[in-house]
Structure 1
Amino acid sequence: MMIFRHIYKYKPIRRNDSGEVEDFLSQATAVSKIKPVGSWGICKCPPSVLAHLGHQGKLLASHARFGPFYREGESEVSGKKEAWEKILEKSSPGDGDKDKTVETYLSVMRRVEKDARDAYGGYKSLYDLTESEFRWMMIQDGCFFLQLALLVLGVPSNKMGYSDNHIIFGKKENNKVAVKRWIESMFFVGNQIPLVVLNEFMKQDFFQNIIISHKKSGWDVPPPSDLCKKILYDLLVLPALEYYNTNHLKTSPQPKIYGTITYCDLLHALHSLIVGSGRGQIVQDETEGDEDLEAAGGQLNKEANKDSTFSASELEKKGIRFRKFELQVGNYPNKEIIIFKDYILFARLYLPTFVVDENTEMLWRSLEYYEMSQKQEGEGSSYAVRSYLQFMNDLICTYEDVKLLEKKGIIKPNNPYYKDKLPIILSKLVGKDKYNTQNLHLLRIRLRDYNLAPWERFKIVAILLFVLSFIQAFFAVLAYFRPTKQG
């Protein structure tokens, strides 16, 4: 879904003598890869970004590793081998059945192997893996990923065949800290398993039995305010339930929750949900028309604060009212969900829900780095996330702004602590460099210039009252000269 519509002025990006963009983000695609232009794929987080982040941008030893990019330094107690053995144990009571289960998963991988390899964008590191090695990597990593996802979604460890004191899936380990660590792993850029693989595995007996059993005991469906779990549930569990209903209960398939697009991985789906696939070009400052403009993005002047959008409280004082944009199935992608409407007597700014919880900063960081890793040439700006965050940072300057937008249902916190910290979180996410897309440029101008003075409103009201009085007088005179006929 297209999350923006309209915005303002800034300096264009400059180039050096060799034609390269002079900023740190220009190196974000300096990765050893062969990736089709304009395609979405699972890409390793750029080295320049990782170096800039330091320890914050690295997968720790306690994080799970998925796929081919971050296998070096993986903990020996990763849980992958045991996760696969648990599937063999639960799905195959006899030795002969184990061979059948192995062949089932290998058959699935042979069927989707091309799509799975394509999802990684042709990275050279894949060429070192034989067909057998790639398939088994997908099987072990994918099954472990899904078991962790079910754990995050509240499935008890004993339903997956683990004891309560298991080092990963046990009750002691299944706490908020552990769940946060698994979520960080699943949404780390490049640390992904293709959805085509995960969805096929979810159709197999082991996972089908778990989700059907858990559904019967009462599945606690994640609310929209818990964005991470909501994404996991919608993209992994719902398709598996639909598969069960269609093939076992013979019910009609339900409409896809995220429209008709086939998503490459979780981050691709999350990015499409938050900012959409249509992204605008950067607008050049009219005062510097001779400068080159990088087609993929633009950078704001650090002194551009005077041109920033007014805060939410200031906009309300100007007569602009806030409304939540209601998301529905089919609203996205490529739908604008930040909309400004001027109704003459008042104006309304429609904004999507902004979820605030302990994962907010991590998720938006991941989306920023995801855009850097993609670098969608020919598809507009690669700064859609940072542009949106800049817009929200301008709107939310104080706690009063937070309270105002929460009252309107736009900010949806599930933790008061992080709600209080939202202005600080947004400021940290935005940083010193400011980015913009064309779609937000016009909106900033309209918000900045909107100012319906009290006497103007009085004039409009007076005209309306005059028109209504004239109409009333006209019909009164008409009724006087044309009395109703007596029966």
Structure 2
Amino acid sequence: MEEHKWRYLQSFLKRKPTSVEECVKAIEKWEEGTRQCYSENIDLSSDDFIRMVLVDGAFIIELFLLNHSPQMRAENDIIFDKRKPWMITNVRRDMSLMENQLPFFVLENLFKITFETQLETQSSLLELAYNFFRVEANLKAELGKERMFDSEVKHLLDALRFWHLPTPQKALDYKWEKIEAIPRAKQLQAAGVKFRMSKSNCLFDIEFSKGVLEIPCFKLNPATESFLRNIMAFEQSCYRHDSYFIDYVAFLGDLIKTRADVKLLIKKGIIAPENLLGNEEILANNDETLANLFNSFGKESWFRTTNIGFCILQQNLKAYYETHWHKVKVPMVSKKKH
């Protein structure tokens, strides 16, 4: 992959053509600001640091451009080789890791240097990034231009989180509320709760009304676990008061405790496994694998939140379950082995 990065750098430099010297001088000006974006000290000399930023930055931009324009790819491009579809999946996963993030302003400035005379006709960098991540990150087919051009993101992982957020976002009052633990899916169903797949494209548009719990479809693919773990770690670091993903995963973790819970949500179209991990043995035990996955997520989530929407949702579900009229139904099915 390192060798491939240098090939992409050469392709990137031919686009303007942009000289190496021009890029190096620009990155030198941003070096101090770039280093400050990292929580830990980067033990690299100035030359090595600039080389790293240039090679990685050019690789990312060129990757987005080649994804957008397939006709420009080299025949021997291993990343887009249709015979090895896992390559592009692995690259997307690696680019969403917290430790692999480049400050977005660096990518955007390199992009502007290359396309300074074509910015009005060229797709924005965020738009190219969105199209690159869209399929495996379960993003909407279209996103409003006002969000596409919002470049106030820290890096690509921040952008991935931003694209998932609801619009408009519900106001958060910055008051910590205790998250109510709710019964698992099969117990809720036994108490009369009906599960239904929501038509919404936003993961967080979960509604409970008149005994019906509507949840948008959540597609699971080989990159899902890595994506969720990284975005949750990122929220713990930077969005503790705005933790949409942490609260969402905690909610699913409460719903999914056993294989029976998984089967129910898959049957209702709420959970959609897509070639989970590409492993035949794991595919044969999908239900147990998914139950264990969400159980592990639940153990890592918070017990308090400022997201009032999730608090009210879980309070309402728990209250519905605990009412005597519904609660008397539970023992008849809860004793069955799942």
TM-score of the superposition, structure 2-length normalised?
Answer: 0.66
| CA deviation map 1:157-193 (0-9, x unaligned) | x724x342x6x44738x71332333223211112112
Structure 1 stretch displaced more, 103-112 or 422-431: 103-112
Contact 2:11 2:62 in 1 (8 A): no
1:226 is matched with which residue: 122, 136, 141? 136
Distance 1:259 1:351 in 2: 29
Instruction: Tell me if the contact between 2:249 and 2:297 (Cα under 8 Å) persists in the aligned partners.
Output: yes
The answer to whether 1:312 aligns with 2:185 is yes
For 1:446, the equivalent position in structure 2 comes to 316
Partner residue in 1 for 2:56? 141
How far residue 142 of structure 1 moved from its aligned partner, in angstroms, is: 0.6
For 2:162, which of 267, 272, 290 is the aligned residue? 272
Instruction: Identify which of 120, 128, 133 aligns with 2:38.
Output: 120
C-alpha distance 436-402 of structure 1, shift in aligned 2 (>3 A): same
Aligned counterpart in structure 2 of residue 371 of structure 1, from 208, 223, 235: 235
Whole-angstrom CA distance in 1 between matches of 2:133 and 2:228:
19
* CA-CA distance at 1:113 after TM superposition: 6.1
Offset from partner CA, 1:121-147 (integer Å, 9 cap, x none): 5x5337x654x6654432221111233
For 1:190, what is the secondary structure of its paired residue?
A: helix
Contact 2:34 2:103 in 1 (8 A): yes
Q: CA deviation at 1:270?
A: 2.5
Output the CA distance in 2 between the equivalents of 1:409 and 1:223: 23
Distance 1:386 1:154, change over 3 A: same
Q: Measured at CA, do residues 267 and 224 of structure 1 come closer, stay the same or move farther in structure 2, by a change above 3 Å?
A: closer
* 2:333 paired residue number: none
Shift of the 279–410 alpha-carbon distance from structure 1 to 2, 3 Å rule, reads farther
Radius of gyration: which is bigger? Answer: 1
Aligned to 1:11: none
Ranges in structure 1 where 5+ consecutive residues have no aligned partner: 1-63, 65-76, 93-97, 213-220, 239-253, 285-297, 299-306, 456-487
Given candidates 73, 81, 94, the residue that maps to 2:6 is 81
Looking at structure 2, the residues matched to 223 and 198 of structure 1 have their Cα atoms a distance apart, in angstroms, of 16
Q: Which has the higher helix share?
A: 2
User: Structure 1 residues 410 and 198, CA, compared in 2 at 3 Å: closer, same or farther?
Assistant: farther
TM-superposition CA deviations, 1:231-270 (whole Å, max 9, x none): 9x98xxx9xxxxxxxxxxxxxxx72345846111111122
Q: Which amino acid aligns with 1:268?
A: D
Q: Normalising to structure 1: TM-score of the pair?
A: 0.49
Contact kept, 8 Å, 2:79 with 2:88, in 1: the verdict is: no
Corresponding residue number in structure 2 for 1:199: 108
Paired AA for residue 248 in structure 2? Y
Change (3 A) 1:79 1:226: closer
Q: Percent identity?
A: 23
Indicate conservation of the 8 Å contact 1:282/1:436, yes or no. Answer: no
Secondary structure at the residue paired with 2:99? coil
Quote the Cα distance in structure 2 between the aligned partners of 1:111 and 1:339: 49
Unaligned runs of 5+ in 2: 123-130, 277-282, 327-338
1:362 alignment counterpart: 226
The answer to whether the Cα contact below 8 Å between 1:398 and 1:423 also exists between their aligned partners in 2 is yes
Find the residue that maps to 1:355 and give its secondary structure: strand
Change (3 A) 1:149 1:400: farther
2:15 is aligned to: 91
Change (3 A) 1:352 1:263: farther
Q: Is the 8 A contact 1:115 1:196 kept in 2?
A: no
Deviations 1:187-218 (A, max 9, x none): 11121122233334445359x8xx98xxxxxx
* Structure possessing the higher relative contact order (Cα contacts under 8 Å, 6 or more residues apart): 1
Tell me by how many angstroms 1:354 deviates. Answer: 2.0
1:359 CA displacement: 1.0
Aligned to 2:96: 187
- Letter in structure 2 aligned against 1:318: A
Structure 1 pair 409–423 and aligned structure 2 pair: CA distance change class (3 A): same
Of residues 86, 96, 100, the one that matches 1:177 is 86
**In 2: Cα distance, 1:269 partner to 1:443 partner:** 27
In the alignment, the residues of structure 1 paired with residue 235 and residue 188 of structure 2 have an alpha-carbon distance, to the nearest angstrom, of: 30
AA aligned to 2:234 is Y
1:280 deviation in Å? 5.7
Alignment of 1:276-425 (within 5 A): 282-283=176-177, 308-321=181-194, 322-324=196-198, 326-327=200-201, 337-341=205-209, 346-372=210-236, 374=237, 380=241, 385-406=245-266, 408-415=268-275, 417=283, 420=287, 421-425=289-293
- 8 Å contact kept, 1:187–1:267: yes
Counterpart-to-counterpart distance in 2, 1:258 and 1:401:
37
Is the 2:252–2:294 contact (alpha carbons within 8 Å) kept by the matching residues of 1? Answer: yes
How far 1:271 moved relative to its partner?
2.9
Task: Tell me: CA distance 1:84–1:223, structure 2 relative to 1, closer, same or farther (3 Å).
Answer: closer
Q: Is the 8 A contact 1:225 1:356 kept in 2?
A: no
